[in-house]
């Protein structure tokens, strides 16, 4: 029985990745991931003390 759960989890992860791909190449996926990573790092540097969800939404709106 536990083996089926692992295969189910693998299948779910594959579907999630396939849907996130949305016709983009692997290089495009890597570039998008790198962009998001740098956004997170920039917010962490600017607001190292943290904040709540409303603060995060406000910071992201200012970045755009």
Cα distance from N-terminal residue to C-terminal residue, the chain: 48
Q: What is the mean pLDDT of residues 21-32?
A: 88
| Position 62 confidence tier, pLDDT thresholds 50, 70, 90 | confident
N residues, the chain:
64
pLDDT, average across residues 20-29: 87
pTM, to two decimals? 0.52
**48 three-state secondary structure:** coil
Name, in order, each residue with C-beta under 8 angstroms of 27's C-beta and a sequence gap of 6 or more: none
Under DSSP, the state recorded for 50 is -
* Domains identified in the chain, total number: 1
pLDDT the model gives residue 23: 86
**Residues spanned by the domain of 28:** 2-63
At residue 42, does pLDDT exceed 70? yes
């Amino acid at each position: 029985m536990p083996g089926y759960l692992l295969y189910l989890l693998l299948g779910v992860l594959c579907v999630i990745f396939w849907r996130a791909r949305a016709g983009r190449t692997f290089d495009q996926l890597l570039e998008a991931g790198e962009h998001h990573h740098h956004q997170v790092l920039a917010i962490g540097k600017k607001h190292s003390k943290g904040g709540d969800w409303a603060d995060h939404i406000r910071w992201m709106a200012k970045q755009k």
